[in-house]
Amino acid sequence: MAYRADMMLGPVIVDVAGLSLTDEDRTLLCEPWVGGIILFTRNYQSVAQLRELVAQIRAVRPELLVCVDQEGGRVQRFRDGFTAIPPMADIGAVYRQDAERGVNLARACGWLMAAELRACGVDLSFAPVLDLDDERCAVIANRSFSIDPLVMSVLSEAFIDGMHDANMCATGKHFPGHGAVTGDSHFETPVDARTLDAILADDVLPYRNLCQQGKLDAVMPAHVVYSAVDKNPAGFSPFWLQEILKQQLQFDGVIFSDDLTMEGAGVIADMADRAHAALAAGCTALLVCNQRPAQLAVVATLKQSTLQPASNLQRLKRPFAWPDLDSLRNTGEWIECHHLLQEALAL
């Protein structure tokens, strides 16, 4: 089957184990239900190797969405050869001292992160984190700009503006908020017992502000149960995804499930059932990571369903602006943003 760059993408995002594709990887990526690939630290050795891996992916299907978690701080999958982006909490600290400098730093970091990935052929980073850090949740912590929803709104908007200027779409996570629980949804299903009003007033406020301004291209819900609202984690909840996110906030972009293999999604035992539940709730793309049998099971169950292998992932694709990192680093924008970052970190 011949693929075109404008073809509709399937909803499943998968990963691969190594630094290059295997024949098994290529077979999976050819499945119409697969729409993208997420890369991890294990997939990165050097800039040259990353570009070769992306070229291999494009040779299989040029339209696939190539993604990574490159937030900054401790969640930066590609390091050697890339600018070290600070934790978002460091940007928040600068903002508290000098608001204008903090906003400029947030935009510069969003631009640097996105532009360097784009120069290596990567389409999307799942960023920024919009969770408010109230010092309970270790898995969020310094990944967050602030505990203050208004500060979060200002800095995340600037970070996203930088991403957009670099021709990369933005994904806000983890809706409606992961910062007020102690548990890590990678290893358990955390429960947040706050009222709906409290969550809407605080955690959802940055999403509301960004949606009103048309800044968010995608959203990733949390594998957290908000027990006063719904018995299901947000990623399996029609209330959170359809009533709040789509209807109340008027969000019409891509909704990525968080990784369906995480323990936070374990309220539904069967992997195929998790995929169907996420789609039924309102997710339009499904992350299935680190377990090839789970990826095959999800693709197999979707192939047997009455659904069509289509998603809205294609809207996250953007033209590439720079042919390589060397070309990017010779631009005035890169030099200016890099200088601003180094100056801020030296304070």
Distances (CA, A) of 215 to 118, 131, 168, 219, 282: 19, 17, 12, 11, 20
Omega within 30 of 0 (cis) for the link into 128: yes
Length of the chain: 347
Which residue out of 98, 186, 273, 324 is catalytically annotated?
186
Q: Is the dihedral of CA 300, 274, 54, 312 positive or negative?
A: positive
**Amino acid making up residue 92:** G
Sheet holding 12-14, edge to edge: 124-125, 65-68, 34-39, 12-14, 286-287
The neighbouring-strand residues paired with 70 are: 76
Closest by CA position to 245, among listed 322, 146, 175: 175
| Other beta carbons less than 10 A from residue 283's beta carbon | 25
Active-site residue, 338 included? no
Q: Which residues contact 170 (CB under 8 A, 6 or more apart)?
A: 127, 128, 159, 160, 163, 164, 215, 216, 217, 218
Find out whether 181 and 190 touch, Cβ atoms under 8 Å. yes
Closest by CA position to 144, among listed 80, 81, 98, 75: 75
CA atoms within 13 A on the CB side of 168: 34
CA distance 242 to 247: 6
Which residue out of 148, 161, 258, 259 is catalytically annotated?
258
Secondary structure (3-state) at 39: strand
Distance of alpha carbon 320 from the chain centroid: 19
CA distance 46 to 57: 17
The position carrying tokens 């401790």 is 74
CA distance 8 to 179: 35
CA distance 209 to 223: 23
Active-site residue, 258 included? yes
* Catalytic residue IDs: 186, 258
